[in-house]
Structure 1
Amino acid sequence: MKQWIFTKDKRLMSTDFTQPTIKDLVLQNQEAIAIKAISEKIYTLMQNIRNGSSDSDYQRRWVWELLQNAMDTTNSERDTVVEIEINKEASTLSFRHNGNPFMVDNITYLVNQQSSKPRKISVHEKTRTIGKFGTGFITTHLLSERVTLKSTVKAGSSGHKEFELLLDRSGNSEQELYDGVKAAMNVLLTLDTLPDVTDYNPNKTNTEFTYHLDDSGTAVAEVGINDLRVCLPYTMAFVRTIAKVSINEDLIFSYAGAIELDEGIYLHQIRVSDSDTQKQILTIESNEKDATIAFEVAKDGNKIQFIAPAEECPKLFCNYPFIGTEEFNTPGILNSSSFNIYQERRNGIILKDADTPEIHENKELLKECNILFLKLLNFIDQSNYQFQDTFVLADFQQPKDYEWLSKKWYDTEILKPAHNALLNANIVEIERNGLVERTPIIKDKAYVDFPYHKDAEVREAIYDLCNVNQYFILPLKENIHHWHKINWWEEKYDLSIKNLVNWFSACGHINSVQKTLGLTEDKLQYWLDRFYTLINREESIINLVNQNKLKIYPNQNGDLCTKNAVFLDEGDIDPELKDILLALGYNCRAFLLEESLLIQGAIAIDREKLIGAKFIAQQIREKVAKFNADKVKGTFLSSETKDAFRRLFTWFVENPTQASDLFEDLYQNKEHRLCDEKDIAMSMELSMKATSLLEKYGVSNFEELEKMISPKIKKESSPLNPDHLLISLGITSAEDLERAKQENANNKPILEALQHISAADIERFKKVMAIIKRAVTNVQNHLQSLQDYDCTNWSQDSLTTVSGIMKSGKEINLVIRPADGGQIIIFYPEEVQALEKANTELWYDDEKEQNIYSFGRFLKRTKVNKLPV
């Protein structure tokens, strides 16, 4: 039989050494031309590979090309098994599989870096082309340019032949590459001379590619293996005939089957040897077209938790990943074996505006994927499963500006319909009455409030501030940062400082804020303190506030005002004088800031804008002067004005020293300027009676009379309740009782009450101890229910002091007291030491509720306004 070989001068020569005919020479030259063309093509491809060797997309593709080629050779009689072995000592990577033996055309095309016949599969009873052997194989040479292939070839009835050949693409010229192709072809041309394999086992891994790695190849190998870890579970869910993929026998992926959760919705189990749990892939599959969408989930009983795809995971698959589509930005994976790829790099699908069959098919497949996405949303809403972390589904974003994508078409046909569906889908996990529920982003006219700020710490502070009652609809706190990252909706859904301040300003009155939030007065005070602190974190809002464009300052009437409309109350104005001035037609509370507020930072009211009693007195004097001038002109005073005059006169009588300092001549002439003839007559009568009373007791003024009768009044007044006093002081032992007596030796009422308590009265001390413990327990339970407090490291340092509490990420201390006695008397030294620290809060409990005793509350209750520094 005549055989042919290549000579050194590139001629194809017969082994029988007969003189070639013209036909032989033509065929010989035709073969030489073909080999030269192949060499030129391989040279060009290898140059592209070498120039792009640092491209991570190239480095990731090798493993998928080998895996797809393995699948291309597998028949339907058995599942594919793949073994990848990296031998660091030998610097080799072996890729083995149990696919069918090579056909002659397969191996010939591979050696010559050409595409063999397209592989056909059945999709909905139609034959589809999904891949070609050989075209992408060139990328595997990033591992090494010399690859040893061991396998078997089947040629008709000739049986199986085992062979080994070297695919050498290391040449730096077309001639060197030609020599490599020629050497491999010579091996193929001698296959007929090899003995048949008598013990061929189709279930063994009979095909092996061995790559000889240098440092660069080793790095490329690691990149591909890492990509396999991320993407293989999805591929195994799409290509269910991949039975097992092992890497050095340390990491083994094996397909464990699927269960159908609903029509067209499957849960695939992929075992991973280095993991305690299985990888679970949820697929939603079309019955109409070759389209599937997939999500990684974790199913535990009736609970299904969604897991976001890894950032490095491509979003488009043609059973295998399209490397480079990581920023297609869909929430899950879109797969179709019918996708028409963009160029040979398999880095996308053609979705341009041109009207071609391939583009039309791709667009229809993406639309089908959107239909499947809506099917999933409906399944979540209607099924009995408990879904968690459904925010993953909302992460449907604008894709990157890919050259193969028409963004206008994508926005109109894919993104907007998906967003509209998501706005109305039950995917936001919220908490109501201790239970987790799911609600749409929009429901009727209400919508979810997503905390929004560039800083995570501020987002959490916004959440903690607004997590009161049910007015704000908030996602679970642990999810707020995920929702912030997603954020493709309108700005009105953002619970930003801007929107929060605009809402507050629109309330108009502080009572409206309090009613809306459902807060007690004390809790509203605490809420406002944190609200103003938040405003100081947003420069743009600070500017609007200081430009008087927002009404956030409650005046003493409760109306919300702009910054320029309010002044600070110096704290020395008697409320009665404010009422008198109001009766005279001047509402000073309208421009005085609510006294209990301590607004600091960039939005604080200037200390120069301070109004005190002297200013109020001046306004009263001017009003009185005007009314008196009108009276001289014949204008009668109204009954309201007369009543205001009488109230002022009475205030003068009750506060002579202060009245003299503030009102000077008006005080000196009060009878004439504030009283009419009838009032003067009555005043004279009262004066005569007062003079008679002073003479009766032998004193010259009322101060002396008060001193005379004060002891009697005090004696007749009710003494302090000893039991209440014990609770207020927190006395729980005879030693504490004795110390309290010594410290209050000059406080007669307290000392007298303590004298009524026996040091031997153990039951009284036990009762106080029990009440204090109750207060501590109640406050602890209350704080554990608040989002911004973390009591994990609760440490009770003394009977009433606690440390180890975290509030909004910062450590604080607590002093806790019962309020049963009607007041709190700081008694223990450790309490004083704790309260001297800026990070200490004073909490009290009256058994019904627990509250923080804020500094504003202290100022309001004690009327203290001057503090030594």
Structure 2
Amino acid sequence: MSADDTLNDARHEVLVENTAQAVHKHLSKLFQEEIRFRSRWVWELLQNARDASPEEGVSVWLIQEPHRVVFRHNGVPFAHKSIAHLIYHGSTKYDISDSSAIGQFGTGFLTTHLISKTVEVKGRTDGGRQFRFLLDRRGNNADELKAAMDASWEAFTQSLTEGPFNDDGGFTTEFAYPLVSDIVGVVEEGIADLITNAAYLLAFNGRIRSLHVEQLNRSVTIKKGVCRPISEAAHRLQVEEGAPGDAPVSRYVAFIANDETSVAVEIAGVGANWSIAEQGQIPRIFVAFPLTGTRDFCFPVVINNEKFQPREDRDTLVLIPNREGKHLNMVRMEGACDFAARLAVLAAEEGWRGAATLARLYPLHQWDWVDTDWFRKLLVERFIEPLRAAKVMMTAAGARIAPSAGMIPLFADPEACCDLWDLTAEVKDALGQLPRRDEAHTWADNLKSWAPFLPEAVEQLSESLTLQKLCEQVSAWGTVEEVGKQLGEAVDPIAWLNQLHTLISKTSHVELFEQARLIPSQGGALKKITELRRDSGIDEELKDIAESLGLPTRDDLLDQRMRLKEFLELQPKTEGEVLTAAAQALKDKAKSVDAAFGRIAVRFFVWLVRHDKTDRLDGFPVLTRATTKEDAGLATLFRDPAKSDERLLAPIGCWPEPARLVADLFPKRLTLSDMYHEALADEALWRGIADKGYVRLNPLFKTQRRHIPFIPDEPLPVSEKDKKLKHRTKDSVEVSALAFFEKDETGLDAVRRSKTRAVSLLLFLATHVLEVDSDALDTVEADCECGEKHHHYRAAWLVPMWDRQWVPLGDAKQSSATAESIAQLFVGREEELRQLTAGKGRKLLEALNISLADLSLRAVAKDEDTRISLIDSLTDIVHAAENDLEKIRLVAGEIKQSPGLLDEIREHRERREKVQRNQSFGAEVERLLKEALQGHGLKVTRTGVGSDYEVEEDYLVDDKEVILEVENGHRSFLVEVKATVGKVAKMTVTQAETAVHHKDRFILCIVRLDSPDTTLEIVQERCRFVMNIGHQIEPVLEEYRRYQETRDEACTRVGEVELIVHDSEVRFAVGDGAWTSGLSLHDVVERILRACSGTVSAT
């Protein structure tokens, strides 16, 4: 052997030894990190097949048998170098300039030894020889491994034979790995990984035509189908997957590609509908074959570029700058990022179901093979921001919008995310911004996947719809009414708010109740939970009253329609609190009364009474009868037993009927307004108020008083030391009192200015007070301050009537109560005087030291001369009756019962004179009417002649009554003339019937005579015409007719007309009140003329 051969042998020996050491070291690493590399074996075999593929492509078989796994392909034969690399593994070969060869049995192929360190290799060389040998990589150290490799080479060379290749299945190369039980899982995992990624494998490798996988329980053939364009840059590859006896199943890969880079995603199709297939844990980066360490890479799609330079272990890329700057892998990855965004947009535009998932990024880890700062910026600029701005989100309204313009519900829990979506969807126009409900959680995941790459938190993204953001919006709406406006037409705002509250509670975000105004108060405003209290059952009307007083009572009360259980823990607000505040507010408002005060005060009062809260009435301001439209007369209720005399009077509707008639005798400013009785008419409730001591239901009451003056019915002792000493009761005594009767400007003072009130007071006392309080005018002995005992009346109201000048005389003058002053008071009020002087009234007059006889005399005789004449006449009557008192009473009684008796006595003497007088007066009236009317075309004629007349008053001719008729052919009037010296004019039944029958044209003419000697000259001055006398008589005539039919009691007086029935004679007495204000002759002529000309009504 030459020296050169020796040198070459030495070099070869060293190379083999070094290779053995490298292989041993690499195998050791593989087995130490088996989990990391265990699925790579199948890809390394496929890489071998691809590298050996002919122009038409290569088919691959992978067969798992019980005791071995066999890999076959029909690629081109082995070159001698390839065999050498296979056995000795000199180095890992890459040809960057030629993508046809990915590797040549370098360290990648060693990964297949995770299955077995011995492999039976079968194939042929490019010289046409066949071989079949055992490739042995066993050895505990490098030397043993070197010996095994040398033995493998020897076996290879020994197996080389000439002749045709034995390929029953059409394959040219076979690798058979023996299996042991503990390695079966590695094999099955690799086969499963192959099938899962088969679609991508075929899409990225044009030279691999098909895969055939056989396992003990299945057989699968996967092959390429048709590739169709989707768009100018995008295509869809069909991959058929079939099993014996079953129809083939199509799988599809959509991809965008240029000369170097492909970005793909597996899709599924049913008819014309496409969807994103379930991705699973697939590698995200391919260099024709998957880099198995990229399963958790950020992209949601698969990126392939055969010019990517993997790391030595062929599981990841190098994405870190080198000395020269940016690595080429980084440049290629930037282009791939653009494609990934374009594929997501394409999926959205095509309407693929699940397209939203292509916008999601996976977490960015701190990989040692990635420059994370560069990659984060890349994803933001080339993926996230383009997608945020692209119309890739399908809304619930059916339109595509950019995510940045949308509202994406953000929740970790899909159920809560849908709940938030449901709430927001009911907001007006929200469907145009919300993603489809079934994609809501997907888009939420997308946002959360983007956030780690962005400077702001996911919750701060404009498109993020968080529960907090929704709550802030609701809080800004401010009121339930506004919430209703912001929601859809059919959405109940209360139900919607309850749903919101439920979601807040369910997701444990109850702090939002304190941060935002989300809870409706009963006033309709939205409040924070810290601003609300629970309604403990406050009456609704009380709330209304409080709010009318300016108290925002409902504003801090939880709306009772709220259902969240947390609200039950709110501090309660009691009715007592509201009541106290309202009462104080009413008192404050009473200091500056406005137009609404009265209505509020009455309503509040009624509420307190109806709800048995009368204890709250102490100090309560009330309206009195002194209230006017311009001014509120106020008083204050109290119940101080020491001030019982100052107790207010209830509304007059609560008083006894007789007391109501004289209500003006009592101070309006101390009497509750009638508004209270109108609002509260229940007598029992008013009795309850009175029993509590707030008001009096009757101006007449019993009380205890001190210092009651003694009214002297006998001389009282006067001290020489002090003649001004008043005799008053020393101790408290029970008295009968009238409310505020003694007060200045009230009670008795109110009488001093009005005769009508004075009469009403006396009749009220006589007919009511003394009837109800029958012992009021009884006298009682009591100790006097002077040290002695005297008698006093029980009626305290009598004292001021006894010692004050209270009887009005007219012209602002008053007098004390005397027979003269009382008689003057009752002038023209004979009937009222009779009521006063009868029954209990007599006792009242006696107590006032007024003689009934004196009063009666002064009532009928107005001056002293008349009274003397009357006394003289009475004396004559007494003498005529022989001083027989009973006879005098009989005469008086008859005269009283039959006032016409005296007229009958005078009738025979005066009849002729009266007829003559009346004839002259009637003729004078006739003359005056003719004189005034005939010049105007009206005739005045005598008519209505009859025998039923009143001799004393009627106009008679030949013992027949005459009625004058005034007419002009179109209109007529009947004029009946009567002359009278008294205050009444009498009409017969016939006259009354005539007046009523012709009531619209019947005129009664009364000539008032001062004496029987009145001359004709005064007729024109004194005559008065009553044009509506028929209307006045009509109701009395009806009573008369009813009386005739039934003989029941009849109403004998209506207004100024009185029915007088004496024996069989019936007369209608017309009082002077009917005719003293009648028309004068001049006025009646004018009235008749106008009536006949049609300008006015005759009435």
TM over 0.5: yes
Higher RCO (C-alpha 8 Å, min separation 6): 1
The answer on whether the counterparts of 1:106 and 1:116 sit within 8 Å (CA) in structure 2 is no
What code does the residue aligned with 1:75 have?
P
Matched, 1:35 2:16: yes
Superposition deviation, residue 356 in structure 1? 3.6
Matched, 1:171 2:139: yes
Matched, 1:639 2:594: yes
CA 1:703 to 1:346, structure 2 compared with 1: closer, same or farther past 3 Å?
A: same
Superposition deviation, residue 459 in structure 1? 2.4
**Which residue of structure 2 lines up, in the alignment, with residue 323 of structure 1?**
292
CA 1:691 to 1:509, structure 2 compared with 1: closer, same or farther past 3 Å?
A: farther
What code does the residue aligned with 1:511 have?
E
**Which residue of structure 2 lines up, in the alignment, with residue 814 of structure 1?**
none
Distance between the aligned counterparts of 1:295 and 1:101, measured in 2?
A: 35
**Which residue of structure 2 lines up, in the alignment, with residue 261 of structure 1?**
230
Distance between the aligned counterparts of 1:26 and 1:654, measured in 2?
A: 125
Matched, 1:553 2:512: no
Distance between the aligned counterparts of 1:235 and 1:326, measured in 2?
A: 15
**Which residue of structure 2 lines up, in the alignment, with residue 60 of structure 1?**
39
Superposition deviation, residue 35 in structure 1? 2.4
Stretch moving more, 170-179 or 20-29: 20-29
Matched, 1:481 2:444: no
What code does the residue aligned with 1:610 have?
K
Matched, 1:143 2:115: yes
> Which structure 2 residues correspond to residues 758-777 of structure 1 after superposition, within 5 A?
none
**Which residue of structure 2 lines up, in the alignment, with residue 657 of structure 1?**
610
**Which residue of structure 2 lines up, in the alignment, with residue 626 of structure 1?**
588
Pick from 307, 328, 331 the counterpart of residue 361 of structure 1.
Answer: 328
CA 1:376 to 1:48, structure 2 compared with 1: closer, same or farther past 3 Å?
A: closer
Deviations, residues 779-806 of structure 1 (Å, cap 9, x unaligned): xxxxxxxxxxxxxxxxxxxxxxxxxxxx
Matched, 1:227 2:185: no
Superposition deviation, residue 598 in structure 1? 3.0
SS of residue matched to 1:387: coil
Superposition deviation, residue 164 in structure 1? 0.8
Superposition deviation, residue 679 in structure 1? 8.5
The answer on whether the counterparts of 1:567 and 1:609 sit within 8 Å (CA) in structure 2 is yes
Distance between the aligned counterparts of 2:540 and 2:9, measured in 1?
A: 117
**Which residue of structure 2 lines up, in the alignment, with residue 272 of structure 1?**
241
What code does the residue aligned with 2:611 have?
Q
SS of residue matched to 2:352: strand
**Which residue of structure 2 lines up, in the alignment, with residue 805 of structure 1?**
none
Matched, 1:471 2:436: no
Distance between the aligned counterparts of 1:677 and 1:111, measured in 2?
A: 120
Matched, 1:104 2:80: yes
CA 1:207 to 1:132, structure 2 compared with 1: closer, same or farther past 3 Å?
A: closer
Superposition deviation, residue 214 in structure 1? 1.3
Distance between the aligned counterparts of 1:652 and 1:363, measured in 2?
A: 87
SS of residue matched to 2:506: coil
Pick from 501, 511, 528 the counterpart of residue 481 of structure 2.
Answer: 511
What code does the residue aligned with 2:408 have?
D
The answer on whether the counterparts of 1:80 and 1:243 sit within 8 Å (CA) in structure 2 is yes
Superposition deviation, residue 570 in structure 1? 2.6
Deviations, residues 624-657 of structure 1 (Å, cap 9, x unaligned): 33344x4xxxxxx3424xx233333145347733
SS of residue matched to 1:278: strand
What code does the residue aligned with 2:598 have?
F
Matched, 1:347 2:300: no
What code does the residue aligned with 1:154 have?
D
Deviations, residues 689-719 of structure 1 (Å, cap 9, x unaligned): 989999xxxxxx955899xxxxxxxxxxxxx
What code does the residue aligned with 2:60 have?
V
The answer on whether the counterparts of 1:397 and 1:415 sit within 8 Å (CA) in structure 2 is no
Superposition deviation, residue 168 in structure 1? 0.8
What code does the residue aligned with 1:578 have?
K
> Which ranges of structure 1 fall in alignment gaps of 5 or more residues?
1-19, 631-636, 695-700, 707-869
CA 1:662 to 1:429, structure 2 compared with 1: closer, same or farther past 3 Å?
A: farther
> Which structure 2 residues correspond to residues 309-708 of structure 1 after superposition, within 5 A?
309-310=279-280, 312-342=281-311, 344-356=312-324, 359-377=326-344, 379-380=346-347, 385-432=350-397, 436-443=398-405, 447-450=406-409, 452-468=410-426, 470-471=429-430, 473-486=433-446, 487=448, 488-489=450-451, 490-492=458-460, 493-520=463-490, 523-539=492-508, 541-545=509-513, 548-575=514-541, 577-601=542-566, 604=567, 606-612=569-575, 614-628=576-590, 630=591, 637-640=592-595, 643-653=596-606, 656-658=609-611, 660-661=613-614, 663-665=616-618, 671=624, 684=651, 686-687=653-654
Aligned length: 635
The answer on whether the counterparts of 1:149 and 1:164 sit within 8 Å (CA) in structure 2 is yes
Distance between the aligned counterparts of 1:592 and 1:557, measured in 2?
A: 8
Distance between the aligned counterparts of 1:315 and 1:62, measured in 2?
A: 18
Stretch moving more, 139-148 or 211-220: 211-220
Pick from 271, 279, 282 the counterpart of residue 254 of structure 2.
Answer: 282
The answer on whether the counterparts of 1:128 and 1:338 sit within 8 Å (CA) in structure 2 is no
**Which residue of structure 1 lines up, in the alignment, with residue 57 of structure 2?**
79
SS of residue matched to 1:328: coil
Superposition deviation, residue 116 in structure 1? 7.1
The answer on whether the counterparts of 1:100 and 1:202 sit within 8 Å (CA) in structure 2 is no
Superposition deviation, residue 104 in structure 1? 0.8
Superposition deviation, residue 74 in structure 1? 1.2
What's the % identity of the aligned pairs? 22
SS of residue matched to 1:396: coil
Deviations, residues 387-406 of structure 1 (Å, cap 9, x unaligned): 22111211124432211111
SS of residue matched to 2:510: helix
Distance between the aligned counterparts of 2:493 and 2:248, measured in 1?
A: 49
Stretch moving more, 325-334 or 365-374: 365-374
Distance between the aligned counterparts of 1:551 and 1:265, measured in 2?
A: 51
Distance between the aligned counterparts of 2:681 and 2:474, measured in 1?
A: 52
> Which ranges of structure 2 fall in alignment gaps of 5 or more residues?
452-457, 636-647, 662-679, 686-1099
The answer on whether the counterparts of 2:344 and 2:355 sit within 8 Å (CA) in structure 1 is no
SS of residue matched to 2:515: coil
Deviations, residues 478-507 of structure 1 (Å, cap 9, x unaligned): 223333333224314333332222222222
Distance between the aligned counterparts of 1:564 and 1:201, measured in 2?
A: 86
The answer on whether the counterparts of 2:52 and 2:75 sit within 8 Å (CA) in structure 1 is yes
CA 1:400 to 1:674, structure 2 compared with 1: closer, same or farther past 3 Å?
A: farther
SS of residue matched to 1:148: strand
Deviations, residues 416-469 of structure 1 (Å, cap 9, x unaligned): 33101111222223322xxx44322123xxx2222x333333223223333325
Distance between the aligned counterparts of 2:565 and 2:573, measured in 1?
A: 15
The answer on whether the counterparts of 1:389 and 1:429 sit within 8 Å (CA) in structure 2 is no
CA 1:685 to 1:119, structure 2 compared with 1: closer, same or farther past 3 Å?
A: same
CA-based RMSD: 3.3
Superposition deviation, residue 175 in structure 1? 2.5
Matched, 1:131 2:84: no
Matched, 1:152 2:133: no
TM-score, with normalisation over the residues of structure 2? Answer: 0.54
Stretch moving more, 313-322 or 681-690: 681-690
Distance between the aligned counterparts of 2:548 and 2:681, measured in 1?
A: 30
Superposition deviation, residue 475 in structure 1? 2.3
The answer on whether the counterparts of 1:571 and 1:595 sit within 8 Å (CA) in structure 2 is no
The answer on whether the counterparts of 2:62 and 2:71 sit within 8 Å (CA) in structure 1 is yes
Distance between the aligned counterparts of 2:277 and 2:417, measured in 1?
A: 23
CA 1:98 to 1:529, structure 2 compared with 1: closer, same or farther past 3 Å?
A: same
The answer on whether the counterparts of 1:63 and 1:228 sit within 8 Å (CA) in structure 2 is yes
